[in-house]
């Protein structure tokens, strides 16, 4: 799998897991959600430079 798509999928998983966890553990879920969003943002660099 390409690096951009892999980072996007993992980032999306972390983002959604952060949303779920923030309903139980607010601080941990927020950190996980922000980290997932950052990973999705970084993946756009690899997806854009691929073309």
pLDDT tens for residues 1-51?
Answer: 688 888 899 999 999 999 999 999 999 999 999 999 999 999 988 888 876
Assigned token pair, 47: 């997806």
Q: What is the pLDDT of residue 12?
A: 93
Q: Which domain holds residue 34?
A: 3-49
Q: Cβ-count burial of 20 within 10 angstroms (0-12 exposed, 13-18 middle, 19+ buried)?
A: exposed
**Cα–Cα distance measured from residue 51 to residue 39, given in angstroms and rounded to the nearest whole number:** 20
Q: What is the pLDDT of residue 47?
A: 83
Q: State the pTM of this model.
A: 0.83
Crossing angle of the two packed helices 3-21 and 26-49, in degrees rounded to 10: 160
Total of domains in the chain: 1
Q: Cβ-count burial of 18 within 10 angstroms (0-12 exposed, 13-18 middle, 19+ buried)?
A: buried
């Amino acid at each position: 799998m390409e690096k951009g798509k892999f980072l996007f999928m993992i980032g999306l998983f972390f983002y959604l897991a952060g949303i779920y966890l923030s309903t139980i553990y607010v601080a941990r879920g927020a950190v996980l959600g922000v980290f997932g969003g950052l990973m999705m943002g970084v993946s756009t660099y690899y997806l854009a430079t691929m073309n």
